[in-house]
Structure 1
Amino acid sequence: MGDQTSFGMLQLGLKKAMPFLLMVGLQCGSAGMYIICDVTLKQGMSRYVLIVYRNAIAAITLAPFAFFFERKTRPKMTVSIFLKIMVLAILEPILDQNLTYLGMNLTSASFASAIMNAVPAVTFVIAVILRLEQVKIKEVRSQAKVIGTLVTFAGALIMTVYKGPIINFIWSQKSSHFVQSNDSSDKHWLTGTLFILVGCFAWASFFILQSITVKNYPAELSLAFWICLMGAVQSAALTLMAEHHPGIWAIGWNSRLLAPVYTGIISSGITYYVQGLVMKTRGPVFVTAFNPLCMIIVAVLGSIILAEKIHLGSIIGAIIIAIGLYAVVWGKGKDRLSPVPMTEEKNAGAGELPISAADITISAEDRIKIDKLVEASDGQVHVLKLHK
């Protein structure tokens, strides 16, 4: 009996922690994407071709899983859903990936990942405007989300504006063979920053539209497949218009092959699926709140692999971002624990369902309390009141 109860409590704990573990894993994968793509693009690979291969590989990878796992639960494709998928493909594969790659090529991997931390702030604002996120400024959890978002953006801004002295680490003493001596990124720093900022807005809009689409098309694998497929088709058409040399499509057994395979499987296929899965229960702001972790990982890997210099401003900004990240996640956690008043149930969104008596479940801890009370009752009937 005790072993079963412990196992049940362990399962409950893992279920609660799963969204956090999934998002941390995604940020680790995204950090690898920044490093690999930065190396590949600075070695001369066309960003248009990289995006085509990335989304094509992602679609091929997701296709068998979407077909077998969701063949009985996949809803019917409608014109409205297909149009949303087309817009999603424009926002992420076309706008965000193109502009982010271009901006990263003009600046650096760590700088691009730092600027993209504006995504939680932009996503939060858009979600509030569209009434996907409720803000009650008198409540502590809403204050935590607002302040945390602002603090996160402020930390990223400090990393961008203030550099400070270089902090030398043991691994940063050696220069990397990936660094090119003719790097002219400083000359186009402002232009690259503007491209990344536009890509940031496109990515935030993608999160919002994805959270809306997944409610009408609750098949995460199939949705991710369609986004990647449409992204590959649209990117191929854009590449044919922008590039006129057949040689740009050539790849070999080097970073030109590693970059599209890695980004296709990890950064597009798995990321789209996991994001949709987590958004169904946690919402888009929770997903984007983990983006600062990617920046920290990229800063460390960039100093090791690309020999990028880590400045004092980056360290200060990372600490501030971590504080803001905790505040946003704490506020979102309180949203899930707080009950919905009866007056608000009538105004709930299409994706929110009121709680009925049949939906109430008893946790493993409460079951232990019930068992002890029943054993001590000697067959008499008692009224049990459970407290959270």
Structure 2
Amino acid sequence: MGEERERSVLSKMINKVKPFIAIVSLQFGYAGMYIISLISFRHGMSNFVLTTYRHLVATVVIAPFAFFLERKIRPRMTLPIFLRIVALGILEPVLDQNLYYLGMKATTATYASAFVNMLPAVTFVLAMIFRLEKINLKKVRSVAKIVGTSITVVGAMVMTLYKGPIVDFIKSGGTEHHVSTTESADKHWVTGTIMILASILSWAGYFILQSFTLKKYPAELSLTAWICLVGMIEDGIVALVMVRDLSAWKVGWDSRLLAAAYTGIVCSGIAYYVQGVVIRERGPVFLTSFSPLCMIITAALGTFVLGEKVHLGSILGSIIIVSGLYTVVWGKSKDGKDTETDEKIKELPITNSITSISVDDSRLSSEGDAKIVTIPASKSSFGTRGT
């Protein structure tokens, strides 16, 4: 009995920790994508071609697993579900990724990843509009989610608007390259920022629509494969219109192939699946609340790989963002506990006995006698009618 209890407790702990490990790992994957993609762009790769190849790789990798592992549980495809998948393909593979890549090329990788911290706030607002997130200002958990989201946005603004002095963690020789990159980015700073904000809005809309789609089509791998396939076709059409030079499609054993393979496998195939699982278990707000970690990881990788300098504002903003992140996660954890408590209350049985209720009906009856009403207790649980 003792071993069974230990296994049960360990199993519950693992199930609780799984979403956290999955999302944190995902943020490391996204941080690597920003660095590798930016390197491929500097070598002349088009962002429209990259997104097409990215989802081609993702489809080839994910489709076999979806076909064999979910053949027994995969729902039948219907026209409404397929139209939702088409919309998902437009929101994420086409609009979000291309707008983000264009914004990142117009600014910097660190700047673009800093603005991703707006994602939890935008998703939170959309979730409230579509009633995926319940808010009760009388409860501490709801206030914690609102305050945490606000703190996250403040941290992102501090990191973006305040640079401060340079903090040298390591001696880097990439100063001259970084300065030239910043100077060229300043020419398109406003345009790049607008593109990044538009991509964030599209990304948040994708999470909301994915949450609704999973209720009608609860097969994460199959849905991932469909999104990648449809997204590849849509991206290919956009790329053929935007990129007229056929030589831009050539890929060799270089950073272009690495970017297409890495982003396709890690950031499209695996990421879409992990996001679907976490959204189904914890909701879209919980998923996006971890996006600030990606900015911190990207800033660190930018320092070591690209030789970018870290400013004091980035450090202060990161600290504020992490504080807001933990506040949101705390509020979401209280949501889970309240849900479990409600389910346990619903499962409590009613005692199978006869209850006598004495009702003083002297004012209504001319005889002045008290009536006894006998009500047999239901054998069913709360929420159901007895027979």
Normalised by the length of structure 1, the TM-score is 0.86
Deviations 1:88-133 (A, max 9, x none): 0000011110010001011111111110110000000011011110
1:357 pairs, out of 327, 347, 369, with 347
Q: Which amino acid aligns with 1:136?
A: N
Partner residue in 2 for 1:345: none
How has the CA–CA distance of structure 1 residues 75 and 48 changed in structure 2, closer, same or farther, with 3 Å as cutoff?
Answer: same
Q: For the residues of structure 1 that align with 2:243 and 2:150, how far apart are their CA atoms?
A: 40
Partner residue in 2 for 1:185: 185
Tell me the C-alpha RMSD between the 2 structures. Answer: 2.0
Pair member with larger Rg: 2
How has the CA–CA distance of structure 1 residues 6 and 93 changed in structure 2, closer, same or farther, with 3 Å as cutoff?
Answer: same
Structure 2 gap ranges (5+): 350-387
List aligned pairs for 1:93-104, cutoff 5 A. 93-104=93-104
Q: Which amino acid aligns with 1:117?
A: N
How has the CA–CA distance of structure 1 residues 12 and 354 changed in structure 2, closer, same or farther, with 3 Å as cutoff?
Answer: closer
Partner residue in 1 for 2:162: 162
Deviation at 1:324, TM superposition (A): 0.4
Partner residue in 2 for 1:175: 174
Contact kept in structure 2, 1:30 and 1:267, CA below 8 Å:
yes
How has the CA–CA distance of structure 1 residues 14 and 354 changed in structure 2, closer, same or farther, with 3 Å as cutoff?
Answer: closer
Deviation at 1:281, TM superposition (A): 1.0
Give the secondary structure class of the aligned counterpart of 2:267: helix
Contact kept in structure 2, 1:174 and 1:307, CA below 8 Å:
yes
Q: For the residues of structure 1 that align with 2:254 and 2:2, how far apart are their CA atoms?
A: 54
Partner residue in 2 for 1:373: none
Deviation at 1:339, TM superposition (A): 4.1
Q: Percent same amino acid at aligned positions?
A: 53
Partner residue in 1 for 2:141: 141
Q: For the residues of structure 2 that align with 1:330 and 1:98, how far apart are their CA atoms?
A: 34
How has the CA–CA distance of structure 1 residues 218 and 163 changed in structure 2, closer, same or farther, with 3 Å as cutoff?
Answer: same
Give the secondary structure class of the aligned counterpart of 1:173: coil
Give the secondary structure class of the aligned counterpart of 1:44: coil
List aligned pairs for 1:26-41, cutoff 5 A. 26-41=26-41
Deviation at 1:4, TM superposition (A): 3.6
Give the secondary structure class of the aligned counterpart of 1:184: helix
Partner residue in 1 for 2:195: 195
Matched, 1:304 2:304: yes
Deviations 1:189-248 (A, max 9, x none): 111111101001000101111111111100000001111111100010111111111100
Structure 1 gap ranges (5+): 343-352, 360-388
Deviations 1:144-170 (A, max 9, x none): 000000110110111111111111112
How has the CA–CA distance of structure 1 residues 354 and 124 changed in structure 2, closer, same or farther, with 3 Å as cutoff?
Answer: farther
Q: For the residues of structure 2 that align with 1:173 and 1:67, how far apart are their CA atoms?
A: 48
Partner residue in 1 for 2:384: none
Deviation at 1:7, TM superposition (A): 2.8
How has the CA–CA distance of structure 1 residues 339 and 227 changed in structure 2, closer, same or farther, with 3 Å as cutoff?
Answer: closer
Partner residue in 2 for 1:246: 246
Q: Which amino acid aligns with 1:243?
A: V
Matched, 1:272 2:262: no
Q: For the residues of structure 2 that align with 1:354 and 1:11, how far apart are their CA atoms?
A: 19
List aligned pairs for 1:113-124, cutoff 5 A. 113-124=113-124
Q: Which amino acid aligns with 1:286?
A: F
Instruction: Give the aligned length.
Output: 348
Partner residue in 2 for 1:256: 256
Contact kept in structure 2, 1:176 and 1:306, CA below 8 Å:
no
Q: Which amino acid aligns with 2:292?
A: P
List aligned pairs for 1:366-381, cutoff 5 A. none
